[in-house]
Amino acid sequence: MTNTNGIIKYSEGAMELIQHFSHPHPLLLISLDGSEIVDQDGYFHKCRLCWESISSGTPCYGCKLDGCKYFYIHKSCAELPHQLKHPFHPKHDPLTLSPTTESEEHKYCGSCGRDQRWYWFTYNCSGCKFKLCIKCASLSLTTKVDIHDHPLTLMRKSTQFTCDHCEEEGKGMFYFCATTTCSFMVHPECTLSPLVERPPIIKAEIHDEDHPLTLVQRFLISLTCNACGNDIKGRFYFCAICAFVVHLECASLPSVVKVIRHDHPLNLIYSLPAINPSSLHRRICQLCVKMVDTDYGVYYCSTCQDYVAHLHCATSKEEKDETFMRKSRNELESIESSTSMLGHGLDESTDMLPYDVVKKFKSGVDGFEIAAEIKHFSHEHNLKLIDKFGIKEKCDACIRYIFTPYYACAQCRFFLHKSCAELRRRMRHPLHEHSLMLLPMTTYASGYFGCDACDHDCNGLTYNCEECKFHLDVQCSLLPYNKFTHDSHEHGLILSRSPEGRKCNNCDDSNEEIKFCSCAENCGFALDFKCLTLPHIV
């Protein structure tokens, strides 16, 4: 029997077979079990029409001949109409289900925009290049779903929209509620998932605690988030007392945050104090080196008074110090006054001494005790403090020429600057999300490692993350996190994670693997770590 789908159905005893236009041989109705859904190479069998995987227990048709025993199509795909008229393409003849040819230049679905590989079956127009993928063609034109009270209509939009379910942007097909007071829109795939529940009323740290925020589904007019300054496209929270509006994700921002590369906690404020109107760098985010719109919320250091950061920069996974514990106001004031006394990039949890003191002596100048002989973790022999010039050796930590004072081994040619000998064993650094452990070069068989900041090979000590195989040489670890000066530029520089194609002004390199420092005044100047760590005089 031939049906409107362009297939012939027939039986051979208990076997149900079809002759499908996509394949020259008869296809047998089967159901693959868990062991049969993968081929001899361990790959999941895919439907030759939609190219989605064949799931265990899903009815499908398979070729009964040994020569092409891996040809399968879903039963649901086999029953798709051979031709269809679709409202998204009304001006030409019906669309025909056929394979995309290798010679076609236009292989994109006219609805979702996904690229259709040359061997995939799509609905094609014979009068133009329009094609519709099976997934889009199979969507119901109207639907009623559990996540919304009203019927939804399938629509297509060439511009971006925001899904009211997952709150992610989308483009192409979506379901839309045409009810006048609603305007709910959702990705087709999101209609099958339960709606993420949001509290209807909340109190947020970023807003006055006496002003509750109410969940609003959507406005047809354009709104701007009072916290981050970006457009609001989906659901949001609204204060009926002062008309404050905020993104759902912005509503959960903390009022105080700590970032890895700054010593003090940052407070969320909505207006910067006018300390020095001519100072531009306080309006530059010290994390991404881009302008901060001071008409909206920023994270601000009340101790330094010239350090600001975008809300989402300071709370990003890369920048946020997850070890920071929220404190009371009195405790925060104590932290702010004490953190400036801590070492470079360190806190109390990471303060590990790198050596044991063998001998001490008192300085004649101020009476301070100085370690005259130490046992450093990186070397098997004791090291003695030297304060004499005249050697041409390199420090085995930073690989720079030795200057006084330094520690030296009496039994072999091992040297450490006093400052390098005092480097802490563990530190946190803004170039990496995990804490880093200082390791000796003998850890590596070759004696060398590649620094992930400057891309140089180094045979000195390394700050290492074993989990991520991240390495940072001593020279790069000593570059300041906050604004610093460099002889090559008139303005201060700050560490920049993403220069966005910016080239180094010294070597003209734009290698994305190398880290950059950019001008704190946002004038476009940048130096990569490779050039920043070059000696000033050779």
What's the pLDDT band for 514 if we cut at 50, 70, 90? low
Between residues 352 and 438, the one the model is more confident about: 438
Q: Is position 301 within any domain?
A: no
* CA proximity to 130, closest of 175, 181, 91, 183: 91
- What is the per-residue pLDDT across 482-497, written as a single tens digit (0 to 9) for each? 667 778 888 878 776 5
Q: Is position 326 within any domain?
A: no
Measured CA to CA, the distance from residue 293 to residue 162 in angstroms comes to 24
Helix, strand, coil shares, percent, the chain, to 5: 10, 30, 60
Q: Nearest 5 degrees, angle CA 431-CA 434-CA 439?
A: 90
**Residue 43 tokens, joined:** 């790959």
- What is the per-residue pLDDT across 282-291, written as a single tens digit (0 to 9) for each? 478 888 878 8
Q: Under a CB-based contact definition with an 8 Å cutoff, are residues 526 and 516 in contact?
A: yes
**Residue 525 tokens, joined:** 């100047």
> How many H helices and E strands in the chain?
7, 38
pLDDT of residue 283: 75
CB-count burial class (<10 Å; 0-12, 13-18, 19+) for 266: buried
**Residue 341 tokens, joined:** 């006394």
pLDDT of residue 344: 41
**Residue 282 tokens, joined:** 């306080």
**Residue 296 tokens, joined:** 């909206």
> Are 12 and 69 in a shared domain?
yes
pLDDT of residue 156: 82
Q: Under a CB-based contact definition with an 8 Å cutoff, are residues 26 and 19 in contact?
A: yes
| Structural domain total, the chain | 6
Above 50 in pLDDT, residue 340?
A: no
* CA proximity to 236, closest of 204, 267, 210: 204
* CA proximity to 481, closest of 355, 342, 378: 342
> Are 405 and 375 in a shared domain?
yes
- Bridge-partner residues for 231, per DSSP? 224
> Are 205 and 161 in a shared domain?
no
Amino acid (one-letter) located at 485: T
SS3 252: helix
Mean pLDDT in residue range 185-191 = 83
The whole domain housing 409 covers: 353-421
Measured CA to CA, the distance from residue 83 to residue 218 in angstroms comes to 38
- What is the per-residue pLDDT across 94-131, written as a single tens digit (0 to 9) for each? 888 888 776 666 677 887 777 766 567 888 888 887 88
Q: Is position 325 within any domain?
A: no
pLDDT of residue 256: 93
Neighbouring CB atoms inside 10 A of 189's CB total: 13
Q: Under a CB-based contact definition with an 8 Å cutoff, are residues 50 and 77 in contact?
A: yes
* CA proximity to 476, closest of 409, 513, 529, 423: 529
SS3 422: coil
Between residues 218 and 53, the one the model is more confident about: 53
Q: What is the mean pLDDT of the chain?
A: 79
> Are 21 and 73 in a shared domain?
yes
Strand boundaries in 104-228, DSSP class E: 121-124, 131-133, 142-143, 152-162, 169-176, 185-186, 201-202, 213-216, 223-224
DSSP label at residue 191: G
For residue 62, what is the enclosing H or E element?
strand 59-63
> Are 496 and 521 in a shared domain?
yes
Measured CA to CA, the distance from residue 77 to residue 48 in angstroms comes to 9
Q: Under a CB-based contact definition with an 8 Å cutoff, are residues 407 and 415 in contact?
A: yes
Q: For residue 82, give Cα distances in angstroms to 3, 17, 110.
A: 10, 18, 18
**Residue 471 tokens, joined:** 């390495």
Q: Could you give the percent of the chain with pLDDT greater than 70?
A: 81
Contacts 24+ apart (CB under 8 A), 110-113: 111/136, 111/156, 111/172, 111/173, 112/136, 112/171, 112/172, 112/173, 113/171, 113/172
Q: Is position 205 within any domain?
A: yes
- Bridge-partner residues for 156, per DSSP? 173
When mean pLDDT is compared across 101-115, 232-246, 341-355, 512-526, the lowest value belongs to: 341-355
Mean pLDDT: which of 53-62, 97-106, 123-132, 401-410 is highest?
401-410
Q: Is position 511 within any domain?
A: yes
Q: Which of 230, 252, 274 is the last residue of a domain?
A: 252
Q: Is position 409 within any domain?
A: yes
* CA proximity to 407, closest of 441, 373, 363, 367: 373
What's the pLDDT band for 362 if we cut at 50, 70, 90? low
Cβ-based neighbours of 450, under 8 Å, separated by 6 or more: 456, 457, 458, 471
Above 50 in pLDDT, residue 336?
A: no
When mean pLDDT is compared across 4-13, 57-66, 264-273, 370-379, the lowest value belongs to: 4-13
* CA proximity to 293, closest of 238, 249, 230, 221: 230
For strand 256-257 and strand 59-63, is the pairing parallel, antiparallel, or unpaired? Answer: unpaired
State yes or no: cis peptide before 188, omega within 30 of 0. Answer: no
Instruction: Give me Rg for the CA atoms of the chain.
Output: 32
pLDDT of residue 286: 83
When mean pLDDT is compared across 230-239, 275-284, 418-427, the lowest value belongs to: 275-284
pLDDT of residue 63: 86
- Bridge-partner residues for 454, per DSSP? none
> Are 496 and 467 in a shared domain?
no
Residue 159 Cα to chain centre, angstroms? 24
Measured CA to CA, the distance from residue 101 to residue 122 in angstroms comes to 10
> Are 188 and 238 in a shared domain?
no
Measured CA to CA, the distance from residue 79 to residue 11 in angstroms comes to 17
> Are 414 and 445 in a shared domain?
no
Measured CA to CA, the distance from residue 171 to residue 156 in angstroms comes to 8
> Are 407 and 454 in a shared domain?
no
What's the pLDDT band for 342 if we cut at 50, 70, 90? very low
Which residue carries 């004499």 as its tokens?
388
> Are 516 and 502 in a shared domain?
yes
- What is the per-residue pLDDT across 42-52, written as a single tens digit (0 to 9) for each? 567 788 888 88
Q: Is position 456 within any domain?
A: yes
Q: Is position 403 within any domain?
A: yes
CATH (domain of 219): 3.30.60.20
* CA proximity to 21, closest of 38, 34, 35, 3: 3
Measured CA to CA, the distance from residue 264 to residue 248 in angstroms comes to 27
CATH (domain of 415): 3.30.60
For strand 355-362 and strand 308-309, is the pairing parallel, antiparallel, or unpaired? Answer: unpaired
* CA proximity to 239, closest of 283, 191, 203: 203
**Residue 31 tokens, joined:** 């159901």
Q: Which of 26, 43, 78 is the last residue of a domain?
A: 78
